[in-house]
A and B are shown apart, each in its own frame.
Chain A
Amino acid sequence: QKEVEQDPGPLSVPEGAIVSLNCTYSNSAFQYFMWYRQYSRKGPELLMYTYSSGNKEDGRFTAQVDKSSKYISLFIRDSQPSDSATYLCAMSAGGNNRLAFGKGNQVVVIP
């Protein structure tokens, strides 16, 4: 079993729809959870950063972490064509521990 599982998609949605992305993981030591957005030929951009279980909202983006189920989610409300990108989940146990990444989920928002 991979440390982090993420469905690579692609996921196509019409403009204005809610985008729902998720990752599962196996390492119970993970405490810090991140979502990155990566446009083609660019480096990943940090979108959301959460610690332990709970929800975090930032504008149209909501991140959820359920440590008991080892499951994290990212929701994008009122999706825009500019949200079309690859979304990577990442997590770590903290300290100087390396990040474990999901494979990335390609999202296409159709105008």
Chain B
Amino acid sequence: GAVVSQHPSRVICKSGTSVKIECRSLDFQATTMFWYRQFPKQSLMLMATSNEGSKATYEQGVEKDKFLINHASLTLSTLTVTSAHPEDSSFYICSARGRPVSNSPLHFGNGTRLTVT
């Protein structure tokens, strides 16, 4: 089946630094990638949608200057948490949808647990 690889799986950083998370579709071309955030015992909260070659679309309340998303190729999207603060500590999960978009399910990466100290 479709495989989405997310790296790193865990990262600890100091407050004020930036962290980059990579999401790759390994065996299919991902025209659209989604970035989610998940709090303990909560469902997935969509942060932004990125389409290859165009700017990401952010959900209401998500700061685009803080969560930089780049989808430079059909197999790679990155999320950079800039000037991280402890409240940014969370579980971040990417997902990718292949082609045809209309009837392709989402496949998820294994998530990145970010801890900001």
Contact = CB atoms under 8 A, between A and B. Distances in A.
Interface string B81-115: 00000000001010100000111011111110100
A104 B91 CA distance: 16
B102 A49 contact: no
Interface stretch (B12-20, B40-48, B64-72): B40-48
Interface stretch (A13-21, A64-72, A90-98): A90-98
B107 A96 contact: no
Nearest to A89: B43
Contact of B43 (A34, A45, A88, A95): A88
A90 B111 contact: no
B105 A44 contact: no
Given A98-B34, A99-B106, A44 B44 contact: yes
Given A41-B113, A42-B110, A44-B93, A32 B46 contact: no
B61 interface: no
Interface of A: 8, 32, 34, 36, 41-46, 49, 51, 88, 90, 94-96, 98-99, 101-104, 106
A88 B34 CA distance: 17
Given A34-B105, A51-B103, A99-B106, A43 B93 contact: yes
A44 B34 contact: no
B61 to A, nearest CB: 15
B47 to A, nearest CB: 11
Contacts of B91: 41
7 contacts: A8-B41, A32-B105, A41-B91, A90-B106, A98-B49, A99-B34, A99-B106
B25 interface: no
The 3 closest A-B pairs by CB, nearest first: A43-B108, A43-B110, A43-B111
